[in-house]
Amino acid sequence: MNRFFRKAAGILTAAVMAVSAAVIPASAADSRQKLPENDAMAFVDGMGAGWNLGNAFDAWAARTPADELNLETTWCGAKTTKELIKTVKSAGFNTIRIPVSWHNHVDKDYNISSKWMDRVKEVVDWCMDEGLYVIINIHHDNDKNEYGYYRPGKSEETRSVKYIKKIWEQVAETFRDYGEKLVFQGMNEPRLTGDPNYEWWYNKDNVPQTVKDALEIINELNQTFVDAVRASGGNNADRYLLIVGYAAKPDQLGILSQYFRMPKDSAKGRLIADAHYYGIGVKTSPAVIDGLYKAYSSKGIPVVISEYGLNENGYKYSDNTETAVQRMGDFFSYARNRGISVIVWDNNYGGKGISTSHKFIDRKTAKVITPEIVSAITKAGAPALASSGSTKTAASATGSGYTGTNSSGAAFRVTAASTVAKKATLSWNKVSGAAKYAVYQYKDGKYKLLSDKLTKTSVTIGGLTSGTQYKFLVRAYVNGKWTAATSKEIVRVTSK
């Protein structure tokens, strides 16, 4: 099986069900479930729908080519461009995941080549310039001894801990001062690579000792990852981190396993549960999402599905547009309404008549080739509470008060000045350079605009119901742009 198209030609057999009739009814997909409010949940909400830069920086070879940078093009056939990143943003995606394999780019002591690190950093910078959330990871470095540098086998434990620690120390140092929209994912699909019995599946009701050892080592590697990032300081002290279970399974073999545990963390509420899912089966999709919702997001621990596609072997997206629009739109909606952000897998392989397809954006032309599908999933997966691009829906915010930031970084604070019968008055300090302000009220799961033409630093809102708690936000218009709400605070008012 050609490893270059690992996501196009199926390996994740245990995680995938056959594509059949859509099983998530629109009514269910449109129903937003009750979710706790905290910074982490608001952050993942803001990630919205995402796209994978697959088979580019994660490509690897048994032998590193003379020019290591050529590995970027060996699987996907194209070099990543700034224009491509702009297309990802303009297509409506909020998040881009950049899978990265490092082992072809390290010396015997696991020191990463500066050429490779600089190239990864260049693309990350392009993404950050577009305002995207960005995920980078350790991807295809999990393999047998002759290929990989970590593997959760008992005999490979010491080497694996050393590798994970060393790589993340260097990556964390390189990106330590980047903003919180840069997210680290410790590992991709940690598993017993090459094991004919247990690589992708094991009996959860009778777990063999070999797998028990692997599950415990994965916990150890996750902890090693978290500790290495936090120790680097800077913005890494409280950066959001994605934590994955065995083979990135979304079920009781992986992140829902009784043997899986979240790492201890010096930063409070900054860990995100992570899993992969391919396919919509007759009974599986709601069960998978509902399981993640019950175990994590319903308890205030956010979840990201960092790889998703209709089928592990690919799907004729270009030939079945209407079906794909329905199924993927329903899936993204169902997940979004349970506090889960989804990132579609794209490996730049596929097109008309090609069944092993996971291609939505052409890398060479930087054009969306399945616009109806992309539109459906970006709309269905859009933030329920967040949008920093306009005043139609306010940026995500949770907590007990609200702090915004103007273009110079100066903070302004909004407080509830007073409440009278069925009215509330909000006031805030003047923001330097602000031409006007916008105020929002939280309704039906979203912050909805009440007015974006306010020039004074206070507003009275009427028509409230006595004894009811309301939540409000305010944004400032500075230098031609609306300030983005942070996830620090909101204003809660109980009307009299």
Residues labelled catalytic: 139, 189, 307
Question: How many other CB atoms are found less than 10 A from the CB of residue 259?
Answer: 18
Residue keyed to tokens 């009299």: 496
Length of the chain: 496
For residue 336, give the H/E element and its range: helix 321-336
Stretch (H or E) spanning 460:
strand 458-461
DSSP H helices, 57-113, are 71-74, 82-90
The dihedral over CA atoms of 327, 313, 245, 302, expressed in degrees to the nearest 10, equals -20
- State the DSSP H helix or E strand holding residue 333, giving kind and residue range, or none if neither: helix 321-336
Give the DSSP letter string of 441-458.
EEETTEEEEEEEEE-SSE
Burial state string for 166-204 with b = 16 or more CB within 10 A and e = fewer than 16: bbbbbbbbbbeebeebbbbbbbbbbbbbebeebebbbeb
- What's phi and psi for 471, nearest 5 deg? -125, 140
What's the rounded Cα separation, in Å, for the pair 242 and 429? Answer: 37
To 10 degrees, the CA torsion angle through 292, 293, 298, 303? 60
Do 219 and 340 touch, CB atoms closer than 8 A?
Answer: no
What token pair was written down for 259? Answer: 């043997």
Q: Residue 21 has what DSSP assignment?
A: S
